[in-house]
Amino acid sequence: MAPTGRTAVWVLLGPHKGDNNQVLALAERIGLPFRTIQMRYKWFAHLPAVCRSVTISQLDPEVRRQIAGPWPSLVLGIGQRSVPVARYIQRKSGGLAKIVRLGDPMVSHRLFDLVVTTTQYAVRDADNVIRLPITITNRENVQPTLSEEHWLSAFEHPRRLIVIGGKTSLWRFPTKVIGETVRLLQRRAEVEGGSIIAVTSPRTSPKLVETARAALGDASVVTSQFPRYGALLRASDEIHVTGDSVSMLSDAVASGKPVGLIPLERNLVAKFLRWVGDLRGSQFRMRELDRFWTDLRARGVVGSVDEPHCGKLDDLSLEIAVETARMLATSVPVLPTFEVAPPPVTIPEAMAL
């Protein structure tokens, strides 16, 4: 169904929950009315993005009917596949709709009004690029319900939560990673007391789930929506996260709890691509997870499974990103003011309203 009234912000949602949580969190922080559109693609969805096309032909007909005026002031999205859709909306609006992209759009930043990214992505530094130390996350703590409190009461403090992601491109995730993590935490629990809980994600493979259950028992491994992920974060005293998921690491850091990073290794394809990149003097555009891990360690907000760390992120880049996006949506041609002076940010001519 086509929209019947104008909404200031459109949020293009994709197939990944972690990605969607980021764009929704940004939309909520901007504080303007927004509507969400769930992207559903045909089989050739990647082709328009790779070719830098401006089209909605890759969308299912039902979704295409939702891409109609009255047009918004701002279009939010993340990743690569919805880039042609955002550019189509901007063109149809006569340039009224400004585009804010999160993550790595895999095309030139010059095509957008603002790119909000993090350190693992090979997005070039530019006037319209803001690089965050962690992804945008909903930092409100989720208060456990009575039933969740009852479930949690079986686990003694200190509660050590293992957040398990899954295999990702160019990175190995063997089952031994989970087994070794559990053994390290069990040795600590023998000395310090407490309990261990594991929670999985939609990307967690059956083998990883089975490994966790074999090491901890079924009752200690959460694979469903109960208890909720946010309630587990709030109720835990330490959070240990597999390094494949930048969004889950960001959630852990934002919680203010001690965080232990569970690192992964590059697979053979990644090692080969890096070797070829060294030979040609220019690396391929890949997601550098270890760069993200290194930055968090340097900031003192993550440690290891043996020695988890917690710290405060003294960084204004998120506030700048939110206020800049709000400025784009409301046509206010001034930068926000802060009690503490932020690092200089120049809004390029393409963003001047």
Q: Which segment of 62-71, 163-172, 284-293 scores lowest on mean pLDDT?
A: 284-293
pTM over 0.85? The answer is no
Structure tokens at 147: 């039933």
Percent of the chain with pLDDT over 90: 61
Mean pLDDT computed over every residue of the chain: 87
pLDDT tens, residue by residue, 233-277: 999 999 999 999 898 999 999 999 999 999 998 878 767 767 776
Q: What are the extents of the domains in the chain? A: 9-133+317-351, 146-299
> 235-270: buried (b, 16+ CB within 10 Å) or exposed (e) per residue?
bbebbbbbbbbbbbbbbbbbbebbbbbbebebeeeb
- Taking each helix axis from N to C end, the angle separating 176-192 and 206-216, rounded to the nearest 10 degrees, works out to 20
Residue range 6-18: mean pLDDT, rounded: 88
What is the CATH code for 146-299? 3.40.50
In the numeric block, which tokens belong to residue 293?
């891990």
Multiple choice CATH, 9-133+317-351, 1.10.10, 3.40.50, 1.10.3470, 3.10.310 = 3.40.50
Rounded to 10 degrees, the C-alpha dihedral 233/237/243/244 comes to -20
How far apart, in whole angstroms, are the C-alpha atoms of residue 45 and residue 323? 32
User: Any bridge partners for residue 169, and if so which?
Assistant: none
Higher pLDDT, 307 or 140: 307
List of residues 6+ apart from 246 with CB closer than 8 A: 118, 120, 134, 135, 289, 292
Same fold, 9-133+317-351 and 146-299: yes
Report whether the peptide linkage leading into residue 227 is cis, meaning its omega lies within 30 degrees of zero. yes
**Which candidate, 75, 76, 21, 36, places its Cα nearest to that of 254?**
21
Beta strands in the chain (DSSP E): 9-13, 34-38, 74-78, 98-102, 114-118, 129-132, 159-164, 171-172, 195-200, 221-222, 238-242, 259-262, 265-266
The answer to whether residues 170 and 269 touch, using CB atoms and an 8 Å cutoff, is yes
Q: Is the peptide bond before 344 cis (omega within 30 degrees of 0)?
A: no
> How large is the greatest C-alpha to C-alpha distance in the chain, in angstroms?
65
Q: What is the pLDDT of residue 347?
A: 40
